[in-house]
């Protein structure tokens, strides 16, 4: 494969070896909203059935974590979406800065 046919040259803008910022800004990411978590022994997990409630470590009204790629990027409040009352959304209340040295 010649240098002109390499994948780097095929995807980069002419005269550049790096993708343009527009290309990077179009990359889709998965956003997760974490309501809380729970820890229990496997024996209790195996006993769970329909209608049972798993108690989470967050309380009603506490901010939820907004996670991208395993990192908390923001926190917010759960809301009902204005134009579709059957859907939840999150109103951002805090943007979390990067943790220096955190390689999680």
Closest CA to 36 of 55, 17, 57: 57
Domains of the chain: 29-104 (2.30.330.10)
Mean pLDDT over each residue of the chain, to the nearest integer:
84
pLDDT digits (tens, 9 = 90+) for 39-88: 999 999 999 999 999 999 999 889 999 999 999 999 999 999 989 989 99
């Amino acid at each position: 494969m010649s240098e002109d046919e390499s994948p780097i040259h095929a995807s980069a803008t002419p005269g550049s070896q790096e993708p343009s910022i527009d290309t990077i800004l179009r990359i889709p990411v998965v956003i997760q909203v974490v309501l809380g978590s729970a820890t229990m022994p496997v024996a209790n997990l195996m006993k769970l059935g329909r209608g049972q409630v798993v108690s989470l470590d967050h309380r009603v009204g506490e901010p939820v974590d907004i996670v991208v790629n395993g990192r908390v990027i923001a926190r917010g409040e759960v809301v009902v979406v204005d134009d579709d009352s059957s859907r939840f959304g999150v109103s951002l209340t805090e943007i979390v800065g990067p943790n220096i040295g955190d390689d999680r």
